[in-house]
C-alpha cells in the first residue's frame, strides 16, 4: 500500500512576503500570527511579510518565521490530506514533530526561537561557515574534510542528494577543504561558501546543543502520532525520550537527508508534499528518486487547489 509523507523546509527557503496571503485570507492564520508575535516577543509577522531580507535571514528570525508559515499551512490543510510519515530538513524537523503531535504550537515555536538564538550567539562567538560541494561522493567529501581539518574542525553537514553535500566548520578549514576539493584528484564541479552566520551541524555547535538540551528538558515532548524520520539517524522515531536525544544531537550532526528520503521510499512512500516556503526539498527529492510524486503547498492558492479538488 502506497504511503504519503509531508516534508518541511529549513533555513534558506524563506522569502519576504511568505504567509502574507494566508494572513489576508484566513482568520485562523491571523490568530496564529498574533500568537507567534506574542510567544516570540517580537514583530515576527511584520518581519515575515515586509522584511527587509537582511532582517528575515537572521537565524533567530528565519527559524520561527519558517516554522509558523508551515504550521499555518498544515493547520489549514486539516485532514484533507493525511501523512503516514513526516520529516523536516534541520529546522523543519521541529515542524515535523509538531505536525506529528510531539509539540504543541507554543512549545514548538518557543523551542525553535530559542534554537535560533543559540545558533546566532555561538556563531558570533565562534566564527564558522559552511560550503556546498557539488559533484562529489560522500566518501570523497569525508576524505576532503579529514585532509583539511588538522587542528581545526570541518565536517560534512548536509548529505542533501547525490552530488550535493554541504560541509561546515572553522572558516579557515572550510576554505582549505574547498581548495582541496577543486584540485586533483577530486576536481569538484562547484565549491561555494554559503551565506550563513555559523558552522551549523558541526562540532562547533556543541555549546549551543548543550544549552538547547536544557530547553528540551523543560519542554513537554509527547510520543509522536506518526513516525518522523530523523535527520541524525535517517530512521523513523515515535518515542519522546529518543526524540529529545535526536534533537540535541541534530545541532552538531550531519543532516542525512538523502538516506532519510531513501528509507521513506523503501517503507512505501510514493507521494511527498513539501509544506512551506519554496521548493528546495522537492528539488532534492527529485534528484534522489525520479519515480515518486512531488507536490508543493507554499501559499494560499496552492493550498486551495488541494482543499477544493
Residue 98 CB-density burial (10 A; 0-12 exposed, 13-18 middle, 19+ buried): buried
Residues 6+ apart with CB under 8 A from 288: 161, 162, 258, 261, 262
Phi, psi of 252 (to 5 degrees): -120, 10
**How is residue 214 written as a grid cell?**
536544557
Please say if 90 is a catalytic residue: yes
Nearest Cα to Cα of residue 236 among 54, 96, 126:
96
> Which candidate in 13, 45, 70, 90 is catalytic?
90
Residue 306 CB-density burial (10 A; 0-12 exposed, 13-18 middle, 19+ buried): middle
Query: Distance from first CA to last CA of the chain, Å, rounded?
Result: 22
> Which candidate in 69, 201, 230, 259 is catalytic?
201
Please say if 201 is a catalytic residue: yes
Asked if residue 221 lies in contact with residue 244, where contact means CB atoms within 8 angstroms, the answer is yes
Instruction: Report the sign of the C-alpha dihedral through residues 52, 55, 59, 63, in that order.
Output: negative
* Catalytic center residues: 90, 201
Amino acid at each position: 500500500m502506497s504511503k504519503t509523507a509531508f516534508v518541511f523546509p529549513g533555513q534558506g527557503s524563506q522569502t519576504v512576503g511568505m504567509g502574507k496571503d494566508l494572513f489576508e485570507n484566513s482568520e485562523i492564520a491571523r490568530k496564529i500570527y498574533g500568537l507567534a508575535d506574542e510567544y516570540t516577543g517580537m514583530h515576527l509577522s511584520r518581519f515575515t511579510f515586509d522584511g527587509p531580507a537582511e532582517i528575515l535571514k537572521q537565524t533567530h528570525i528565519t527559524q520561527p518565521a519558517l516554522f509558523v508559515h508551515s504550521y499555518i499551512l498544515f493547520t489549514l490543510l486539516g485532514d484533507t490530506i493525511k501523512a503516514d510519515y513526516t520529516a523536516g530538513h534541520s529546522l523543519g524537523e521541529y515542524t515535523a514533530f509538531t505536525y506529528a503531535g510531539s509539540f504543541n504550537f507554543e512549545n514548538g515555536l518557543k523551542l525553535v526561537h530559542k534554537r535560533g538564538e543559540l545558533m546566532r550567539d555561538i556563531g558570533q562567538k565562534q566564527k564558522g561557515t559552511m560550503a556546498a560541494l557539488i559533484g562529489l561522493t560522500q566518501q570523497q567529501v569525508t576524505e576532503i574534510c579529514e585532509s583539511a581539518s588538522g587542528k581545526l574542525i570541518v565536517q560534512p553537514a548536509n548529505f542533501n542528494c547525490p552530488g550535493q553535500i554541504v560541509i561546515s566548520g572553522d572558516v579557515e578549514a572550510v576554505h582549505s577543504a574547498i581548495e582541496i576539493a577543486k584540485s586533483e584528484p577530486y576536481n569538484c564541479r562547484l565549491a561555494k561558501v554559503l551565506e550563513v552566520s555559523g558552522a551549523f551541524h558541526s562540532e562547533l555547535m556543541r555549546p549551543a546543543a548543550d544549552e538547547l538540551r536544557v530547553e528540551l528538558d523543560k519542554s513537554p515532548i509527547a510520543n509522536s502520532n506518526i513516525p518522523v524520520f530523523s535527520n541524525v539517524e535517517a530512521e523513523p522515531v515515535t518515542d519522546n525520550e529518543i526524540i529529545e536525544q535526536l534533537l540535541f544531537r541534530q545541532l552538531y550532526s550531519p543532516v542525512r537527508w538523502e538516506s532519510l528520503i531513501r528509507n521513506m521510499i523503501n517503507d512505501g512512500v510514493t507521494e511527498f508534499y513539501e509544506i512551506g516556503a519554496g521548493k528546495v526539498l522537492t528539488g532534492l527529492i527529485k534528484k534522489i528518486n525520479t519515480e515518486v510524486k512531488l507536490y508543493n503547498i507554499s501559499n494560499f492558492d496552492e493550498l486551495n487547489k488541494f482543499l477544493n479538488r
